[in-house]
Structure formats: structure tokens, C-alpha cells
Structure 1
Amino acid sequence: MRSFLQRLHFPFYWYMNPFIRAIARLGELCSRTVTRPQITAGWWMSVRMVFLLFLLSPVALHAQHFGGNPPSLKWRQINTDTVRIIFPAGLEMQGQRVANIVHYLNHNTRNSIGNRQQKVDIVLQNQTLESNGYVMLGPFRSEFYLSPPPSSLELGSLKWEEQLALHEYRHVLQNMNFRQGISKVFSILGGQLGQAAVTNIAVPNWFWEGDAVTMETALSHQGRGRLPAFFDGFRGLMLDQRNYSYMKIRNGSYRDYVPDHYELGYLMSVYGRNHYGQTFWRDVTTDAVRFRGVFYPLSQSIKRRTGQNITGFYNATMQEYESYWKENATRPEITPATPLQAPAKVVTNYRYVYNAGPGQWIALKSSYQRIPAFYLVDSTGKEELITRPGGGFDDFFSYRNGRILWTEARYDPRWIWKDYSVIKLYDRASGHTSTITHHTKYFSPDISSDGQYIVAAFTSPQQQYGLHVLNAHTGAITKALPNPENWYYTYPRFSANEQEVISPVRNAHGQMALIQQNISTGAVTFLTPFSFNVMGAPVLANDTAYFSGSWKDVNNIYALPLASKQLFQVTDRPNSALHAAIDPQQQQLVFSEFTAGGYKLYRAPLQAGRWLPVDTAANAHSAWLRPDLKEGEDVLTIAPHHDYPVKKYPLFSHPFNLHIWVPTFDDPDYSLTLYGNNILNTTSTAIGYTYNRNEGSSALGADFLFGGWFPYLTAGVDYTFDRSALTQNRRRLYWNELDWHGGIQVPLLFSSGKYGRSLSLASTYHYLKTFPQGFKFVDDGIQYLNNTLVFNNQRIKALQNIYSHFGQYLYLQYTHSIGNVPAEQFYGRFDLYLPGLFPNHSLVLQGAYQQRDTMFRYSFSDNFVYARGYNEPFYSRIYKLGANYHFPIAYPDWGFAQLLYLLRLRGNVFYDYSRAYDFRNQAYTTYASTGGELFFDTKVGNTIPFSFGVRFSHLLDQDPAGAARNRVDFILPLQQLFSY
């Protein structure tokens, strides 16, 4: 009998329990560039969908860095009737600012969403360099990742905690006001994640994010709705005449570029507001979460108010915006440019480019099939691979005189919130890559022409920003430039004489300017005035700075001669340019422009005589990029500045915080469990009941995990009633069973470069006591230790890659008794991932071994991966070798009725060889099989990624449990439910 801990897979229940994984993903409304779509569905379909989510979802819960902050971090709180702001000591100013903005939003911006009230906790995280934020139910909280984004083109230049407050608190208001009708019923029955499951079924993810982007735009002088780059995706599809269906836009594609739900949501949100009023979406979403309508309640509500279902509404939205974009794209003054490469068959991006000599360019290239790499590209389009960078918080790089410079992410092994950004340098002459800094937080480095110095922007956990000049060999700081206004520097560059630094900066109001700062004196010269127009990375050539800017409806390349400080527009293109480089000898400009096939390189003559002067004080944006969303004034200028009381917030505050009831159906076990997490995500609790259908037994249990120290500490107890077994004389024996357990876990993260690496060690002590009813056990109690080691090393992969091209997974488990009852079991598994014959093919080799004692005084859980097609054999030791060759077959991008969308068909051919030792007969038995698997990668209800398949196994040896040599199995995420 498995312990309650084992039955619930606790403490890693969020990784293993399909119900938890599904609804927790639905409950997590993350402000990220890419998240998975949600469901738009009718009531009856929704009920069935809920159970599908409960039973079949393969989606993994993003665990939000459980226990990721060191205990030395001291927490403070501002606690009001509206919000509790929790932040590290030293960030009182940021905590007060967020509290004031949230209070203003709560009292003054509800008309378009509703007036329901609920207090929320907001945690400010300052140890990570990731720029992000999210709101989550289960428990109800929000987290702000305070490091600003290195680039301003995509997310804007507003002060980061202020933009997060505008965007994320809108999600808070959405969750408050969607708790009504059927949603409220499920919140009572299933807790906060029950509400999350139903509201995300009723309201698609594009509305959650589109409405939040609408509010950040309406309540500030900027927001993504005023940024040209935010519309590049849909504008690129329009320019390439790709008219994708609503279902494809909702579900994405492995084959084609599809804009994300932020862009889709904003366009549809604003279209609805402009044509049907400010409260249009409040009324539509109220109908949806109450499931007013038998099928597709959100679509039906839209149709009642507009005469169009959701597909027609989407088409009308696109038609209106495309009319704006076509008008801009068909102007006669568009700058002619020639593609540098032939069209690619797969989506490919060239995001940054530098001149490397006459007719030669260094670019960062990635695709849906290949991970990013630096390439040398010549004027004929020929490409040569140089080297591949590792993953980082920013993909920007710089190049000068044969040296490539970039940053990569590094992580504290134990405290996963605590990360770094180190500087890497590649020397083309030597072919050597070196790490210049360690345990630093740098972005956007540039190197001097002689290779002796580096200038880089930095950010600190205390939210202090600035520039450091470093020794390029040792990484030591040689100069810290003064920054009394605490501007946020982006993309600093050495001037031609290398006595100054040229850099865009962002001030406290969210405005940007291009400055020139003297390295010796720190004196600052403004090259452009502060404005809400955003700027990209500058490139200097002939004492002129070239950079991408947002003064027009699309981001174009601008030039600013440092002597005259007059801004000129260099290009006038139909879609946004990201970055540019100058070939001074051939007088050519090469720039990266977004298309439906990704960022492409274009070249054009560098004709300074045709540049247009720019009036930096004028707003040249069209009306659609200056929306009046009728939400009042700029909140960031009128929000009050109350001084709220600040108190300590202990690490162990509210340790149980129970928030969700979860039913689990894993035949023969049926469970109902109450789960909890504290707000800082350092504790997890599970209290539950389980019924075993085979035995008719019942179990009560509780488990607790604390992750705030090193290592994790676990403890729990289970009591099982009426366990039973049938004896040889057909007599049924009954007993009760008590299991006390506790242990430690050591999760370690060693990710760096192109590889994600983790190591987890755990040891759990169990004391199992039996209480027989009318008989006596030979062994009435057992003590045992369960020890595990899990190591995972995976090279990053591209979107279309099925598996990593190189990786290893190792799992070792040794369980043994302590005391007079002999029992032990050893299990080991090793998977090796290798590249196949083509970019998206994978060869996966597997090996597994298990040995257990022959006394059978006590049996431990069996996790062995047996040869496919065979039943479990009798053995004392067994091993298995397997080979799998995975490959894609087709990318249909097809679906029906908003119910199921087929993204990819893929296959696998396999061979398994296994030998088991039967100690009773003292003989080895071979079990070998071969066959194939067909998998379908789908989206269910436009929301849940769901892969299923069918397997054909041909048995090369006799199965002792059956005579059939050919077997067909259906492959589902939980288990094989059917077998023939």
C-alpha cells in the first residue's frame, strides 16, 4: 500500500497531479511574451472540458520559484484594506509607490470591469533579472519582477514597477469581478483554482492580456498600445497577405509565425470599446463567466451585442486595423531596400547586425529549427557559422574589430530567484570564448576598439542603475560613471574617440533621451530631449549615431550627427526596423526588419542627402497609435503619495494558507485533497482523504513542505483504515496502518550557457506501523529510507525540435528498510538525447535497471519502464535497453468547432530489449519488441496543449502473460487507458 505521500505525489504534487497542473496553468495569468491560449466554450462543453482538464491535461505547473529566496532576505509589508505589498527591506520607496497606484486604480478605474472587491497580496521580487509579472489564483497573489527590460522597443520605457502596477492590477480586478455565477459556484466547490479553471474556460487569454494592455495604455502617456513594434506581428502578416483563421491565431503554429495573444487581445479590446462603448467587455465577460448561453457564451454574448460571433468580430477587427496599416504601407516615399538573403522555408530571425568589413556582416540568427548563433553574412547571402551564445535575459550583442560581446544568465545553485548576467567575449582571431565577469548583473556591453575596455549597463537588487567601465581582461571595474538621477541606461556605446559613452536613458517619468557622457568627468550632454518616443541600440559610424526610434507609425532608422545634434529619419519602411549597421566603404545601410517570416536583413544605399529632419517636439503618430480610451487622466501623474505604515513580514507568515480542494481519480485510488501555499511560496500543505477501490480502504493524511531554508524539510502522516488482503484459504484479513514520514530535499540548479542543468537529492524516513484486526502479522511494523537522485542536463532547443539535440536524464532510487524486517529495492534509469539525421529529428537511447530483495516481506512502489508491449514479468532483477527515433510528419494547423486544433503529427520507431532474472527458476527471460508510435500534438478548446497517440508493438519473444505477438495501445498523458 502506497503512503498518502506517495499517492498524492507530495511534495511535488504540482508536477505530478494532472488536475493541479491543468487548473494551476489556467489560474496563472502571466504577463509574459508567450503564454498558452485559454478556452472559449459553451456550458455543456465547458463542464466536459473541466473534467478533461482534471483528468488528461499534460500541462506542467510553473512552480513560481518555490523557496527561491535566501533566508537572509528580510521582508517588509504595507498592509491596507485593499492590498498587502510585500517587499525586501530597502525597497520601501517602490512599495509605497505601488501601494498608492493600486489604491488609486481600485477606486477610480472599475467602470469598464466591475465593482467587486477582494484584497490581494503583491510581492516585489528584486533578486532576479527577469523582467516580468503575473497574477495567480491558488493562492490569490501577484508578483512583480522589478528589473526593467533591457530593451524599450517592445515593452516601453515607463518606470517598471509603475507599468507592472497598471497592467497586473487589471488582472487582479478581472479575477475579482469574474467570481460570479457559475464561476462563484466552482470557487466554493474547488477553491481559488476551481474559479481559475472556469473563468479561463469562459474568458479567452487574449481578453485577459488585451484588456490589461489596454489599461496600461489608457492610464499612462505610453503603454504598449502606443508602441509601433507592438503591432509588427499582425502588420507583417498583412504585408505578406497571410490571412490566418481565428483558430490559427488563437492556437499558434509550429510552422508559421503567429502573433501572440497580447497583440490579438489589445486589437480586439480597443475595437470593441471604440465601436460598442467602454462597458462593452464588462458586459460580455459577465455573460461569459455566468455561462449565459448554452454553447460558447462569450461568442454568443458578442453576437447579441454586435450581430457577429467571435470569428466575425475578429475579422472585423483585422479589417479595420489593416486599413490603417495599408494606408501607411502604400505611400510613395517608402524607402526601397533589397533583401540580403533568399526567402527561407522556415521562420528565421536576424535580430542584430554589425559591419565586419566591406560587404560583410555579423548577425545573430535563429529559426524555428535552429537555436541562436552568430553568423558571418556576405553581400551574396552566403553564411558562415561563428559560434553560439548561451541563454540570457537579453539577446543583444555588440561587435567591434573581431570581438563579439554578449551577456548570459547564471543562477545561484540553491536560491533560484537569485540570478546573474555575466559578460562573454568571443575573439574571432583565436576562436576562443571567455567569461569576463562573474556574479554580476550587466546588460548590453560594448568593447573599445583596442579590446582593452568594456562599458556595460548594470542594475542592482536595490534598483540602482548606471554604467561601469571594466577591464576587458579581468572584468574589474575601472570607472563607475555618476548617475545622480538614477536613469536607466540602455545599450551604451563608446564614442569614436572612446572618451565618451553614447547611450539612450530612461528617466523616472518613463521618457527617453539620447545622451553623451564623458568617462573622465561624468558630464552629460543631451543629444535629444526627453520624450515618450522609445529608442533602440545605437551604432556609431563617422561620428554619427544610428538607431531605431518610434517617432513614426513604425520604428524606423534614425541618424544623429553628434556635432549638430539634429535628428534625421534615414528609412521610411512599411514595418518596423530593429537594428542597423553601416558599411562606410560601400556606403550601404543594412537593417533588420520584421516580416511574416521573421526578422530579415535588408540593404539600402546610405544617402545622407535624402534624410528628412525630425521635429522631436511633434507627435507624428496616426490617430490609431494615439488612442483615446476614455479612462481618465494619466494615473502616474495624479496618483497620491500617501506614506503608509511599514512593518516586518516574517518568512513563516501564514504557513498553511489553504486555498483549493482537488479531486484526483487515479484508479484504484480516488482522493479529495485540500492544498495550501503561503504567499512567499516557501511552504506547501496537503490534507486529504483517499479511498482505494480494490481494498475498500480509506486513508487520512497530511503533508507539509518548507522550502525557506537549505535544504527543504518535509514531514507528514497517513492513517489508513480497513486495509485488506485475501489469504490462500480465501480468508480476508483486515488491518489499519499508520505511516509517519519526514525527510530532506536538496534541489540544485546548475544551468549555464546552452544547457539547463538540475540536480535533486532527497531522503525520506518512513515509520510504518500496522494494527491487525483479529490476527497477528509476522512483521507488524517497518522503518525504511527512500533515497533519490535526479540529474537532468538538456541543451536548449528550437521551437520545432521535438527533443533536445543533446541531453541526459538520470534517476536513481534506493529504498531500504531499517531494523529487523529485510526489504530493499534499487532502481536506476538513464536517458540519452542525441540529434537525428535532420534538424527536427531526435534519437533517444534509454537504459534502466531494477533489483529487489527476494524475501517479499515488504514491497516498495514499482516505477520500472518495462519493454513495450509486454506485461510485468516475475523477477528479482531486470534491465532494459531502448532506442527511439522521433521525427515530425506534418504540421496541419487545422481544427474544428473551437474544440480541437491539430498542430503537429509526429512519429517514433522504437526497439526495446529487456532481460529479467527469475530467482525461483534460476533463469533469465528475454523480452524484446519493436514497433512504432504516432503522436498528435493538439490544443483542446484553444487552450490546453494535449498530446496523445497510438502505439503498435511487435513482440519478438513470448509474453508469459499472453499469447499475442502484436499489440496496439492508446497513449494518453496519464496512462494507457485502453489496450488490445
Structure 2
Amino acid sequence: MKIKSLLTFILTINFYILYSQVFDYSQAHYKVKWKQITTDQFRLIFPSEFSPSAPKLANNISQYIQNTSSDLERKSRFINIIVQQNHIQQNGFVQLAPRKSEIYSTPSAIADNQEWLPNLALHESRHIAQFDNLTGKIRAPFGEQLALALFGLNLPGWYFEGDAVLQETLFSKGGRGRLTSWQMPIRTDILTGRTYDFNKYVHGSFKDIVPSFYTIGYFMNSELYQKDSLIHGKILAEMNGKLLRPFNFQRSLKKNYGLKSNAIFKLTMANLAKTWTPDSVLFDTDIPEKTDRYPTNYLLPQTNEQATFALQEGPQRTARIVQTDQKAPHNSTPVLTLGLQLMPYFHLRDQLITWDEYRKDARFEKQTYNVVMVYDMASKKKKTLSKNSRYYTPIIAPNQKEIICIEVDLANRTSLVWLDIASSKKIDSLILPVGLHLQQPQFNTNGTHLIAIAVSEEGTNLMQIDLQTKSLTPLLDWSNAQIERPIFDQDAIIFKANYGNKDDLFRWKKGEITKLTDSRFGAFNPSLHADTLWYNDYTPKGYQIRSIALSQLKEQSIKPHMIEALYSNQSLNRAHNTPIDTSIRTEYTIKDYKAFKNSFNFHSLTLSGNDFESFDNLKPGIFWISNDLLNTTDLRVGYEYDNDIQKSIYSASLSYQKYFPKITLSYTDKGQIGSAQTNNSTSIPFDWRERTTALDISLPFSKYRGNTIYSYGFNFGTSYLKRYNISLSNLTNFNDAIAFPLNYQVYFNRNSRRATMDITPRWGQNISFTFRHLPFEDQLTGRAWSLRSNFYFPGLALNHSLQIRYSMQSTTGRYIYTRDIPPIEGFSYIPYETVKNTLLFDYRFPISYPDLSIGQIAYIKRIRARLSANYQNIHRASFVPKSSSAGIDIDFNLFKYNFPLFTASVKGTYINDSKATKKAFPTFGLSYTY
């Protein structure tokens, strides 16, 4: 849209808005055979391999749904819950449009204080209740997208996620409310006097360690619950029916608690300070820290005869293993850049390093894997030991010939697996008892035993495994402690646990437990070399490396105990907080789930045919949308009105993407206008309607390999256009039909993963080729091809980047005015010429990370700059760019909404052409991403 504004001179302002995708459209593999259990409360849909575990999960969910809605006005209504067992990420969500929940059910190596899947199901059950109590009256088949929008506008993320974490703690013996490591960043802020405001805790920071809004949300919800255990139901009941009322949540909060959110935040922090501050004088704070510009973690310190190694994790770089000189701990030398991991991890033995990496199927994003990698520092060779596996936390045997790791199969059954390093073959395995999951194993000195974390329905424990007899021995009483990184110390075990009000290192020996460290904030990740204990000490600057001789340890005998939350109303002993009885069993019938039979599921009316992905040329209209539960079928039918030409548009589209190709069939019937020139050069306006039937087929692929992301694929499209109701007869050179033009595109992209502070990839190569022609037309001719390339290079400093785009095209006949390559900036203001190629340079760099609150309206996270130089038809261009620009981008959040992240842009462009209609002009933009 162009707006003319008269100041002291005329400016042309281009204003654009970009919208990011907010709905999940990814699929599981087409080979998955789906089953179902149906109850009065829900339908559980799961892969057939998960059938042995499904009845237990269904039984748990039935109780969770009842408990997590017990304090709310409305009971949760029927919902579909999909178990994505082939997806190994630990996550889950509840959504509307369509209404469903998805849970990623595979437990990983991430230590917790209870089983993963029940805790996840408990958390998501609360979200189901929240939706039903706030927007539950707005339903399918017409209202779910509206209900989702109103839910997001009315409830801030800190509230609904913090409330769900509260429910984890109330209705289980575990929950994040009893994890001191999860609370640790806020505790550290308080003890060190870091007084961040509410906005920073909600929206986060690029430059500082700030806990997620889940954490501060839990503490604030706990303050509410401590005063009134029924307050959450009262808040939602007051808001329901007033969803269009301004500041609906704040008004309800004020009415039912007496304070608004910002005041509750201050009260929460003040009360936490009373809880934690008195202990601050007891602890040693003399920790040698790295001199990084921003907080950086040096995780899992491990030592061989030459040096100490750690996994470096910070906002400026992607994760890598570094070598630290023991005599100069402030110096680090990069050893190896790691790929994407579910959790930071590596294991060192002499010159060998092993770790695991997260991978995905090239086509199906919910078919994911964890593979084992090994690197030989002597030969500088890296090797992948497994493919399409579900292996976790590999460890190298003392003989350096084998690796043992944890495997979780599709029924959530855990095994120990032996891999031969030389051949990469699986040489042995030990299947563990049903319901027992092991994490983070470690060898003893001679390789005859393992020690690992054990997790079951009883809680957590230390488990010793005799590799000769393959027998398992629990060393502790089962509890709700978070145990991490156990290692052997001769006949003793050193491990991290949260006995007390923080995390420290402990030693188990012959049934007795002693405390080894007294860290101010938290001690983690122990390892032994010779007679020295290496570990991580948490600080405001991240996890730092610390070491101490075993002879200098001051041990203190302790008695293990159940872990309690900070708040008395969340005590394990309170009757209304009693954890769910998992011994109750109900018989369920498992049946086939017919995906094709359930392909059509109309859920929403919307005003946009593309889910508001773009506001370009947005026309008033209405669409009816259907999506199946497995994201394989999308159907939408609709009507729009084009105000510019005063014509109606009718459309329908059907997409099917269960298999490798994504196929879209669409139909459009729309009005058009034009003008015809007579023999005496006068113009006569006329109109017509045209029906277009189009077919688009795409084969998109993407995969991760180390620190690099690859995407590649092929797109094909064709259509048939028929014009009718032409108001002017006897037209010449006007075709009433265009039959099957063919369009092809092939592309290949290779980009490095971005660090938190990276604006673009540090390295990237992206190439796309497009070809169009009319092989079935007698009256029309023409063809077009284009080649587009996009390269990324590191800039002059960290997180700076240089982008170079070179594109070229050739067009003839009907395609003479087709432009498939990116134009230079200011293209519309220079005299027309046939564009053969463009060369575009962009240099981007961050200016500052202000973390600045503008009242309660906005929170500015980053300010960055952009410099551009653009060339057109370089075969006859001068050294001076055809156009150049400089701009500022401001990344910010609005109000207390965690998402999206908005970017406000202002850019000034200069055109180096004496015939340009505008030589200089500004451009303003607003975009946002999730």
C-alpha cells in the first residue's frame, strides 16, 4: 500500500506486514498403523506398536482429566488425544482448529523427578480444561479458530503455562514445582540482586540468563493458589462471556485476587526473597569464571591426560566441544562442533569422544531419531555409528572398542545396547523390565558394572547393573528426587541430587549418603580423573568448571527424603493434593483408527483462505475449513469479494499430504476486468469471469547432518483456465482458454544452524531453478526459466552476516512479463527494462540488546542494522550499485504476549538513476515470527 504524506517534501512510504505460520501441519510417517481407544472423555489415537502401553496411559488420562478440571466451573469435554510415539522430542500441546492434543510420548535421557509420559499427560490435561472453561462454548464446526484467537488474546502465556505446571505439582509426587534446578535461575537472580522486571521474565533476553515464562508463571500461580485454592476457576468464570472486554484477564485477576499481574509479580519475588536470601551468606562464591562477553555454559567437564574438555553452549555460537588448558582456564580451543541434541551431552575416554544427535526423516517431521556419533581426536575422524535409531547417552567402554547406550523402542520399552565401534554393528542388548527406564549410564573402572538413573512409576533411584550376570540392583529407596549424572568412585557412587533446597553432589557408599559440595546456586555434572573431582558450578554467567581434590572434600552425612515444594498448599501430605492412584485399572478395547474415514473434520469459519499467512491483497470473504487430526487432509471452501474491481471470487481447495508428494487440487471462479483497444486507438473496458482448475505437487525434503540443515525438493504445477461471460464480443488476441501450462521447480539448500544471536546462518548455499512452458497450447507460445542463488557468509564480527544473492532469468512469449527473480530495491521507480539478472548484497549486524520495557505496552529485545547494495543487469552495470539502502530493525514483544516476536523496520533507499521517479524514499515495515 502506498501512502503520500506532505511534510516539507513529498515522501513515498511503503508499509508491509508479514504473518508467520502458527498452525502445525507436519505429519507422521505414512507407514504408521494407527489404533484407538475411545472413552466418554476422550479418544486416544496411537501407533500400533504403542498398544501394550496404551491402556495404562488411557487409565491415567481418565483420572488426570477429572482432577485437573475439579476446581473449574466446567468439566472437560470430549477431545481427541494423539500419541506421536515415533517422534522422540519431549513435548506436547493442546490446540483448537482442529481441537486435539498431541503428546510426544518417548522418554529421553533428560533427568526428572518422575516418569515423563504421565507428567506430560497431566500437564496437557490442564490445558484442555483451560480451553473448555474460557472459550468452550465456541465450537466446531464453525468457531474453533475464533475460540483459539480469543483464548490467546485473553490469557497470557505465563498464566496458563504456570497454572499447568502447578497442576503437575499438585496431582503427582513430582512436577517441576519440586525441581530446584528448574527454580535455580530465579533463585540466582534474587541472591545476586538482579532485579529484572516482569517483562524480562515473561519475554526473555538475548544477552542474559532469564528463566522461561513457565517458571515465573508457576511461582505467580502458586501465590494465587496459596491464598485461594479455587481462584483459578473463579478467574476463568469471571472472564467467560466477556471475551471482548478490554483487559479482561487483568480485571478478573484484580477482582478475585486484589492485584494485577505486575503487582503479583513483585509480591512473588519479594516472598521468594524472604525464602531464599537468609542462606546466601553461607556459601563460597569464589568460582573461576570464563571471560565470555555473554553468559556461557561449559557443561560436562571431563579430563584425559592432556586437558579438560567441556561442551560450550552460549548465545553467540552453536554448541561445540572445547578444550581448556588446565593451567590457563580462561582459554578454550574448539575441538568439535555438535549437531542438534535433545539435551547437551558427550562422553570422553582418552582420545575418543562420543555423543548423540537428533535426526529426522527427510519427508515426515514426526518421524525422528537419535543417532550415536564418535570422534577420534588423534585421527580427526568423525563417524556415525547408527542410523534411524532411538539411542541415548552413549558411553565408551574402558577397552575403547565398544559403546553402550540406552534404547527406547516404539512401545516405550527400554534396553541397554552394545555397539561395536569398528564395525558400527549392534552386538548385544539387555531388555529391561516393563515400566523401568534407565538414564545417563556410566562404567566402573574395569567395565564390569554400570551405574544409571532408574525411573519408574515408583519414582527415581540409582540402579547398578552387573554386565556379567545382567542383574539390576537399586541402591536407594524410591523417591521423587531428581538424580543426575551418577559416576563410580571405586566402590562408591557420586551423583547429583536435590536433597535440601538446592542441587549438590553426593556420595553413596555401602548404603550411606554424604554431601560433598555446598554450592551457593547448584553443583552438577561430576566426573573423576585421578584423584580430582571435576564438576559444574552454576553462576549468573552460566555453568562454570570447577575442580577439587577428593582429599579436600568435606563430607556431611545426610538422610535422603521426599522433596517438597516451597509452598505449603502443595505439600505431599495435603488431602486435596493427593497424587493420582495409578493402581486403578480399567479394561479398554483397542480398535483400528481409520484415517481415511476421518479425513473431513470441519471446524472453523475464517475470514482468510490462507490462515492470515499474508495480508497482501487481503480481500473480505469467508471460508469454511476442514483439517483431519493427523494433518494429512486440508479442505477449504470460500467466497471473497474484490473491492478493487467489484467482483466475486468462489474457491475450493483440497490438499492431501499423507504420502511423499503433497498434492493440492484447487478450483477458483472469479471475475476480471480489462480494456480492449479499437482500430482508432480508443480503449473500451470489458469484463469476464474465469474458472481455473489447478494441480500442484510438491516433494519437500529436509534433514539435519551435524551442524548443517539441508532442504531440497521438487515442485510441479499445472492448471486449466476457461473464460466465460465475456461482455465484449469479437475480441482478437484474447484466449478464452489456456490449457495446462507446466511449471517446474527444483531446489537445494544447505545452511548452518543459527545460534541464538545469529540473524542469518553463518554459512549457507541455496540454489533454485524454475522452468515454465506451454506444451499443449496451439495459440500461445513462450517459456521462462530462472536460476536463483542465495549465499551466506560470516561477517566482520560474531553474529554479523553477509548475504549475497545472484539471480538470472530468460522469458519469451506469454511469459515476457513474468518475474521469478528478486528485484532490486526501488524497482518500481526506475524506467522499465527487461531484467536479465540481479545481484543483491545485504550486510546485517546487531547493534544492541536493550531488554527495554516501554511501560506495559512493549518490550524491546534487540536492535539490529542492515546495509544493502543492489545491481541490475550486471553485464552492463557500472561499479556503483543501482540502488542502496540502510535500515534499522527493532525486535520486540507486545504487552505480556510471549508470541509472536514483532520486528519493526525503517529503511532509507537511494536509487542511482537520473531517470528514477523517486531518487530517495523511506520504507517502513512490521513483521512477526513465532
Q: Same fold (TM over 0.5)?
A: yes
Per-residue deviation, residues 553-581 of structure 1 (Å, max 9, x unmatched): 111111224xx242221112232222122
Alignment of 1:472-871 (within 5 A): 472-509=421-458, 511-561=459-509, 564-585=510-531, 588-607=532-551, 610-616=554-560, 618-619=561-562, 623-624=566-567, 627-628=570-571, 632=576, 634-637=578-581, 640-664=584-608, 665-667=615-617, 669-721=619-671, 723-725=673-675, 727=677, 729-771=682-724, 772-776=726-730, 778-782=734-738, 783-817=740-774, 818-820=776-778, 821-855=780-814, 862-871=819-828
SS of 2:125's equivalent in the other structure is helix
Residue 270 (structure 1) aligned with residue 218 (structure 2): no
Alignment of 1:153-164 (within 5 A): 156-164=112-120
Q: Does the 8 A contact of 1:132 with 1:145 survive in 2?
A: yes
SS of 1:751's equivalent in the other structure is strand
In the other structure, the counterpart of 2:273 is: 322
Q: Does the 8 A contact of 1:227 with 1:625 survive in 2?
A: no
SS of 1:506's equivalent in the other structure is strand
SS of 1:270's equivalent in the other structure is helix
Distance in 2 between residues matched to 1:472 and 1:974, nearest whole Å:
46
Change (3 A) 1:289 1:897: farther
Q: Does the 8 A contact of 1:122 with 1:141 survive in 2?
A: yes
Distance in 2 between residues matched to 1:859 and 1:678, nearest whole Å:
40
2:505 alignment partner AA: I
In the other structure, the counterpart of 1:25 is: none
Q: Does the 8 A contact of 2:902 with 2:926 survive in 1?
A: no
1:892 alignment partner AA: P
In the other structure, the counterpart of 1:221 is: 173
Distance in 1 between residues matched to 2:544 and 2:575, nearest whole Å:
38
Residue 68 (structure 1) aligned with residue 20 (structure 2): no
The offset of 1:223, in angstroms, is 1.0
The offset of 1:968, in angstroms, is 1.5
Q: Does the 8 A contact of 1:253 with 1:903 survive in 2?
A: yes
Q: Does the 8 A contact of 1:202 with 1:289 survive in 2?
A: no
Distance in 1 between residues matched to 2:267 and 2:885, nearest whole Å:
49
The offset of 1:927, in angstroms, is 7.2
Q: Does the 8 A contact of 1:853 with 1:876 survive in 2?
A: no
Q: Does the 8 A contact of 2:783 with 2:814 survive in 1?
A: no
Aligned to 1:373, which of 308, 315, 320?
320
Gapped regions of structure 2 (runs ≥ 5): 1-15, 609-614
Per-residue deviation, residues 802-847 of structure 1 (Å, max 9, x unmatched): 1110112333332222322224333332211110011111111111
Distance in 1 between residues matched to 2:893 and 2:248, nearest whole Å:
20
Change (3 A) 1:228 1:926: closer
Q: Does the 8 A contact of 1:851 with 1:876 survive in 2?
A: no
Change (3 A) 1:292 1:457: closer
Q: Does the 8 A contact of 2:35 with 2:47 survive in 1?
A: yes
The offset of 1:608, in angstroms, is 6.5
Change (3 A) 1:512 1:388: same
1:558 alignment partner AA: F
Change (3 A) 1:722 1:744: closer
In the other structure, the counterpart of 2:252 is: 301
2:637 alignment partner AA: I
The offset of 1:911, in angstroms, is 0.6
In the other structure, the counterpart of 1:192 is: 144
Per-residue deviation, residues 582-603 of structure 1 (Å, max 9, x unmatched): 3434xx4332133332222233
Distance in 1 between residues matched to 2:286 and 2:568, nearest whole Å:
28
SS of 1:645's equivalent in the other structure is coil
The offset of 1:881, in angstroms, is 0.2
SS of 1:636's equivalent in the other structure is coil
The alignment's C-alpha RMSD in Å is 2.8
1:143 alignment partner AA: E
Distance in 2 between residues matched to 1:484 and 1:252, nearest whole Å:
42
The offset of 1:970, in angstroms, is 1.4
TM-score by length of 2: 0.91
Distance in 2 between residues matched to 1:109 and 1:622, nearest whole Å:
18
Distance in 2 between residues matched to 1:370 and 1:481, nearest whole Å:
38
Distance in 2 between residues matched to 1:825 and 1:683, nearest whole Å:
32
Distance in 2 between residues matched to 1:733 and 1:909, nearest whole Å:
46
SS of 1:131's equivalent in the other structure is coil
In the other structure, the counterpart of 1:407 is: 356
SS of 1:278's equivalent in the other structure is coil
The offset of 1:654, in angstroms, is 2.4
Q: Does the 8 A contact of 1:284 with 1:302 survive in 2?
A: yes
Change (3 A) 1:882 1:721: closer
Gapped regions of structure 1 (runs ≥ 5): 1-54, 976-980
In the other structure, the counterpart of 2:7 is: none
Residue 940 (structure 1) aligned with residue 894 (structure 2): yes
Per-residue deviation, residues 315-334 of structure 1 (Å, max 9, x unmatched): 1011112221223433x4x4
The offset of 1:264, in angstroms, is 1.0
Distance in 1 between residues matched to 2:579 and 2:292, nearest whole Å:
45
Distance in 2 between residues matched to 1:175 and 1:974, nearest whole Å:
25
The alignment-based identity, stated in percent, is: 23
The offset of 1:266, in angstroms, is 0.7
Per-residue deviation, residues 854-901 of structure 1 (Å, max 9, x unmatched): 456x965x4542111231753444211011111111212112232222
The offset of 1:190, in angstroms, is 7.2
In the other structure, the counterpart of 1:904 is: 862
1:972 alignment partner AA: L
In the other structure, the counterpart of 1:17 is: none
Distance in 1 between residues matched to 2:291 and 2:251, nearest whole Å:
42
In the other structure, the counterpart of 1:893 is: 851
Residue 178 (structure 1) aligned with residue 173 (structure 2): no
Per-residue deviation, residues 534-557 of structure 1 (Å, max 9, x unmatched): 211123344433221122211111
Distance in 2 between residues matched to 1:423 and 1:767, nearest whole Å:
50
In the other structure, the counterpart of 1:49 is: none
Per-residue deviation, residues 632-671 of structure 1 (Å, max 9, x unmatched): 3544325742212222111213223122333245337444
Q: Does the 8 A contact of 1:504 with 1:513 survive in 2?
A: yes
Q: Does the 8 A contact of 2:76 with 2:128 survive in 1?
A: no
Q: Does the 8 A contact of 1:226 with 1:626 survive in 2?
A: no
In the other structure, the counterpart of 1:884 is: 842
Change (3 A) 1:904 1:762: same
Residue 452 (structure 1) aligned with residue 401 (structure 2): yes
The offset of 1:145, in angstroms, is 0.7
Alignment of 1:415-430 (within 5 A): 415-430=364-379
Distance in 1 between residues matched to 2:903 and 2:712, nearest whole Å:
27
Residue 441 (structure 1) aligned with residue 384 (structure 2): no
1:958 alignment partner AA: S
Distance in 1 between residues matched to 2:501 and 2:187, nearest whole Å:
11
Distance in 2 between residues matched to 1:827 and 1:639, nearest whole Å:
65
Distance in 1 between residues matched to 2:621 and 2:665, nearest whole Å:
20
The offset of 1:449, in angstroms, is 2.4
Residue 954 (structure 1) aligned with residue 872 (structure 2): no
Distance in 2 between residues matched to 1:178 and 1:383, nearest whole Å:
52
The offset of 1:958, in angstroms, is 3.2
Per-residue deviation, residues 507-531 of structure 1 (Å, max 9, x unmatched): 233x122122122221223322322
Distance in 2 between residues matched to 1:690 and 1:654, nearest whole Å:
28
Distance in 2 between residues matched to 1:743 and 1:959, nearest whole Å:
41
In the other structure, the counterpart of 1:37 is: none
Alignment of 1:345-356 (within 5 A): 345-356=293-304
2:744 alignment partner AA: N
Q: Does the 8 A contact of 1:707 with 1:713 survive in 2?
A: yes
Per-residue deviation, residues 140-170 of structure 1 (Å, max 9, x unmatched): 1111111113121xxx243332112211111
